[in-house]
Structure 1
């Protein structure tokens, strides 16, 4: 009789790619007013894994966007987390690295933007993450 060590199978999580066209649709959905679930396509509504991508993904992606576009993405993810089922992200929210990218550009969120986030979200980690 031999005793061996059991090792679980390593899962290969599917790498989620950031689709810039989809992000443009997200931006459009919040610039035209408040986020409405019915205004999103089925694909966009079910893309909740985007809000929980690792922070480095969002820091890298933010280099391709202007500060105002990043603010609109922050607005989208804040509203999506508060209103769309399955989009809650807590400390893993995309808002946190997106806000960090603005600080790195020396364009931090304004007091009005911070107040807007607080008014539209109950996620205690937004916009700066856990302490």
Structure 2
């Protein structure tokens, strides 16, 4: 008789960035500065909480595909998602941190107004610079 380990099947999507999904997030923020995400996001998008905690390296690479304005909308989306959606807490691993870093690398850092928006709409003390 042998004893093995049983691994339950996973119905979760693979943890990867999908540009179509990010574009939906950007579109939400282009039309509204602080939407109620739970009311506006499709159920599938609400279950993509893994995105907020993907490694920073992946977000830095993905940021190369987006304009400064689109990155700002993604920063807004993830900050609001952390504040409004259950299980979207990113803490020190939040997607906002590498996205903000990508703007600094482009010599387009967040301005005072954007920093104030983050402070008003997020309780994550690590945003936008990460653990210091």
Structure 1 position 15, deviation (Å):
5.1
The match for 2:103 is 102
The match for 1:5 is none
Structure 1 position 35, deviation (Å):
2.4
Is 1:16 the counterpart of 2:28? The answer is no
The match for 1:83 is 84
Q: Is the 1:35–1:80 contact (alpha carbons within 8 Å) kept by the matching residues of 2?
A: no
Q: What is the alpha-carbon distance in structure 2 between the residues aligned to residue 15 and residue 61 of structure 1? A: 17
Matches within 5 A, 1:1-131: 16-33=15-32, 34-36=34-36, 37-131=38-132
Task: Give 5+ residue unaligned stretches, structure 2.
Answer: 1-12
Q: Is the 1:96–1:127 contact (alpha carbons within 8 Å) kept by the matching residues of 2?
A: yes
Q: What is the alpha-carbon distance in structure 2 between the residues aligned to residue 44 and residue 27 of structure 1? A: 13
Question: What TM-score do you get using the length of structure 2 for normalisation?
Answer: 0.86
The match for 1:11 is none
Q: What is the alpha-carbon distance in structure 2 between the residues aligned to residue 54 and residue 110 of structure 1? A: 25
Structure 1 position 17, deviation (Å):
1.5
Structure 1 position 28, deviation (Å):
1.1
> Once superposed, what is the RMSD of the aligned Cα atoms?
1.1
**Rg larger in 1 or in 2?**
1
Following TM superposition, where does structure 1 have runs of at least 4 consecutive aligned residues deviating by more than 3 angstroms?
Answer: none
Instruction: Tell me the number of residue pairs that the alignment of Structure 1 and Structure 2 aligns.
Output: 118
Q: What is the alpha-carbon distance in structure 1 between the residues aligned to residue 97 and residue 19 of structure 2? A: 19
Structure 1 position 31, deviation (Å):
1.7
